[in-house]
Amino acid sequence: MTLLPIEALEKVVQRMVEEDVNAFYSPSIRGHIEFTHELLVQYLAVYIHIQALQNHPSESDPNHNALRDNIKEALGHFAEVSDKPVPGLSRIELLLNRLCFTTEDENDFNERFLNCIRVLGQWLAGDEKLFKYLGRGANTRLVPHKPGKIGLWIYELCAQLASGLPFLLYFKAHIQETWRGEGYPVSQIMAEWGEIVKKKSNEGKTVLVADSYYLDEAGRAALKELEVPYICAVQAKRFHILTNQAKKHVSKAGESIFLWNKKEHELLAHYYSPEPKIGRKFVLSNAYKKEEGTTRANYLPGCDDFAIMFSTCDHFNRSLVDHTWPHRCSSGTRRLHDFYMTSILLNVMNVWRTVQGGDSMDVSWKDFMVGLADELWADIDAN
């Protein structure tokens, strides 16, 4: 429950009111909404309940009042399970339309996520999510090689819990307006990920894993300074001296070569995959030790370990499917809010499953989130 963003919501309310005194003016009550801790908990419970049920308009049922109907259903549900009076429909509707997390809240959430972890495991995987959004905005990117092609580009860093489930430790939305000098160099992202590994590493043994989009010479230097072990796929053009040397020894599919830098204790692994979509694969790492002996058959140091560890973010991103806010978002800011909230709720569920173990792994998203919302409402009664 400590992951739930009630305190963060209070900060958002304060920030929005400071920016616009009429941010939460309600015509229906002819005045401004008076915020209490209780009201924010009620809002959050309704939000989670609606997201749990995933009732949304479709081509066969184009309900233009779907959100209002879902709010009515949620308030009716809580009226049945509790004796406490429910807030007015228009009040909750206004909060759902206006109360919104932004990029200003990312550092707060990342700190909350990290504080939930006592010590990191064997690796952290860094990747990105192109969160589908077709509108325009500073965070929207067109990426032809991605399945969705256009959306919000969000950097992610994921850990794997003891249960094998993913846990999102870090998110940061990319700012697209580079013409204004805004944006994030990949070396900055690598440095931030490296700081997280350094802070909570398992006796310096936690490895940072990322694909070829991220590591460049500046990022490599940052990780070296932090003394963070890494296993990263790399682009040949960024490390052309090393990769050109490796290519001399690999001329056809199925071949591989491993170059060892004795001074820097780095391994460059190069594997020429028979799969055309993969082709020449390069992996750079400082996480290995050179020892005398024979490498076991069918094992490619660097490449095989990268393939296993890197999938952690893929597992988290896959779990976003059919779990996000079921109604259309009116802006990129609200769509980003959707990603933040869904990620938080997924983290809550995965931690609960890990702690409970056993049959908890079979509890559906719907059942868990409905129960979570009911617990929030019950806490209001208890207090």
Report the top-level CATH class of 104-318: alpha beta
Query: Global pTM?
Result: 0.91
pLDDT above 90 covers a percentage of the chain that reads 72
pLDDT of residue 145: 60
The answer to whether the beta carbons of residues 170 and 192 sit under 8 Å apart is: yes
What are the residue ranges of helices labelled H in the chain? Answer: 6-19, 37-53, 66-81, 89-98, 106-115, 186-200, 217-226, 240-247, 303-318, 332-356, 365-382
pLDDT of residue 180: 46
Q: Mean pLDDT across the chain, nearest whole number?
A: 90
The backbone torsions φ and ψ at residue 168, rounded to the nearest 5 degrees and listed phi first, read -80, 115
Query: Would the pLDDT of 219 be above 80?
Result: yes
Q: With pLDDT > 70 as the criterion, what percentage of the chain qualifies?
A: 91
pLDDT tens, residue by residue, 36-92:
999 999 999 999 999 999 988 777 777 678 899 999 999 999 999 988 889 999 999
Q: What's the pLDDT at 178? A: 47
Is 207's pLDDT higher than 80? yes
Chain segment 108-163, per-residue pLDDT in tens: 999 999 998 999 999 999 999 989 876 655 566 656 566 657 788 999 999 999 99
User: Each residue of 183-212: b (16+ CB within 10 Å) or e?
Assistant: eeebbebbbbbbebbeebbeeeebbbbbbb
Across residues 306-330, what is the average pLDDT? 92
- The residues spanned by each domain of the chain are 6-99+325-382, 104-318
Helix, strand, coil shares of the chain, percent, nearest 5, are 45, 15, 40
Kindly report the backbone phi and psi dihedral angles of residue 281, in degrees, each rounded to the nearest multiple of 5, phi listed first: -115, 130
What's residue 177's pLDDT? Answer: 55
Range name among 58-72, 246-260, 273-287, 345-359 with the lowest pLDDT average: 58-72
Q: What is the pLDDT of residue 342?
A: 97
The amino acid sitting at 332 is: G
